[in-house]
Amino acid sequence: MTSDPDCLYHADRARTEAVRAIESGSPMVAAIHQELCLHYCGRVIAAMLLTAARGG
């Protein structure tokens, strides 16, 4: 996928946070988990873009 060794970790955390947001019983807690999910998704996208820019 990418040359970033942490990319798989970030993808897994994004998935985990998405599930936590969906399963949350509180809108405030769901918003926190959604924000964390977006943060980790951003890290994955950045790693993929950097890999593509390097020709990988």
Domain residues of the chain, as ranges? 7-53
Contact 44, 14 (CB under 8 A): yes
| pLDDT on residue 2 | 78
| pLDDT on residue 16 | 98
- Identity of the amino acid at 55: G
**Which residues in the chain land under pLDDT 70?**
1
Residue-wise pLDDT for 30-41, tens only, equals: 999 999 999 999
Which alpha helices (DSSP H) does 1-56 contain, by range?
Answer: 7-23, 27-53
pTM here is: 0.88
Question: Rounded mean pLDDT of the chain?
Answer: 94
